[in-house]
Structure 1
């Protein structure tokens, strides 16, 4: 009987000690960790969108493509991915050759760690055809951009994906 009591006490002690040895719980699930980006990095990321808007609004496909990394990809709706700066330049060049555009972009969330970040936000644009009699285009929607910090401290799009909030026209 004494042996059984010792085994029972040993089991209770091991059970009690196991709770003391477990790691501390992290923050509750509804609390997110603060961004690992400096205010300067957040400002540089916002400047990428500003450079994109200025270049697109000026009709400059070369300058639009310059905000993408050499290995960047544009994931436009209903099209295959445009991979690499040359393909992205050709995509935007084709669009900007046909339309005069007005882009507005606003970031809702910028987060990141180290040399990677994401920027989630919304856009609005209008496109007036350069050819008389052709229909114009207007859209608004949301985007997600993955950016990589460059050796010079600037940021460039690695992935740029957007989709419309407007209903499909049939």
Structure 2
């Protein structure tokens, strides 16, 4: 579990750093959303934190997803090739925060079945993750975006995948 946490954090910090380095192409709204995702991941997945309840993080990430999608749609006319998949990654992150928050909220005194309470949700979320990963990789490997932006998108995808893996493993 700690290996996945390190992978998630390194990838998320890398994506944020590459977004800052890419500045104009990435845009401030996507950077703020990326920072919110990083803080949410830390708060939900680091056992000593849990400062803010997971449903709040999920709502905030959902709002960030809608904001980035709206800004990308608006900017697409002036800058084709925007990261329209970032919003889907944020929504998947919101789902993972909720699922991980349910595990964290269960506590040690909960019944043995508490970890399996989200089993019915994992299949559709897994399909959404597979589709998202496939499309991001198609764009990155296909050379449709500049190299630094490709690495940023791949790092963001790795952080979301590690977060999902932590939910499944937990």
- TM-score bracket for this pair, using the shorter chain length: under 0.3
When normalised by structure 1's length, the TM-score is 0.28
> Which of the pair is proportionally richer in strand?
1
Question: Which of these two proteins has the greater Rg computed from alpha carbons?
Answer: 1
> Which of the pair is proportionally richer in helix?
2
